[in-house]
Amino acid sequence: MNLQLKPVTEKNFFDIINLKSEEEQEKKFQIFERMVGSNAFFIALASVNGWTCKAIYDGDMVIGFATHGLDKEQNRYELVSLMLGHQFQGKGYGTPSINLVIKEMKEMYVCDEIYLSVIKENEPAIRVYEKAGFEPTGEIFQAFHPEPVYRLKV
């Protein structure tokens, strides 16, 4: 495993937006998948919020995508999105990928806390987040459905 974070570019843009979190999503192009917003949605949202988007690579292959930055309303740094393509899930990429993103966030923002929210039914993601040290805050973020908020003290 040779994981790296790389910027979204003209060269990898379509590889990133074609990654889907579930095989069923391969047949559709939509803004929201069942457990996560589409990568195209987060690239667009990042462009208006000043967030950072990164492709997650294993060697030369795009396996996932992450978005992070400052939530100006809450005045806190957030891991806004993290996804692995369905074909890369369950293969040991989750924990190393989130740790790589956390490392980048700590270096970029020199922050002492990182927040995220997650669909409560997304149990595999919650397990990865908790394994990385995120703990529930008791807060609920109301997106398109209620999402529990988690915090990591770094």
| Summary mean pLDDT of the chain | 88
DSSP 57-107: EETTEEEEEEEEEEETTTTEEEEEEEEE-GGGTTTT-HHHHHHHHHHHHHH
Give the integer Cα–Cα distance in Å for 64 and 38. Answer: 12
Tell me the average pLDDT across 62-89.
93
DSSP tag of 18: T
Q: How confident is the model at residue 90 (pLDDT cuts 50, 70, 90)?
A: confident
Express each pLDDT in 22-56 by its tens digit.
Answer: 555 445 555 444 446 688 888 999 999 999 999 99
Contact status, residue 119 vs residue 35, Cβ threshold 8 Å: yes
Q: Is 129 a catalytic residue?
A: yes
Domains in the chain, CATH or no CATH each:
3-111 (3.40.630.30)
Q: What's the pLDDT at 21?
A: 60
CA quadruple 24, 100, 70, 149: dihedral sign: positive
Predicted confidence at residue 145, as pLDDT, reads: 78
- Given 77, 93, 115, 129, the catalytic residue: 129
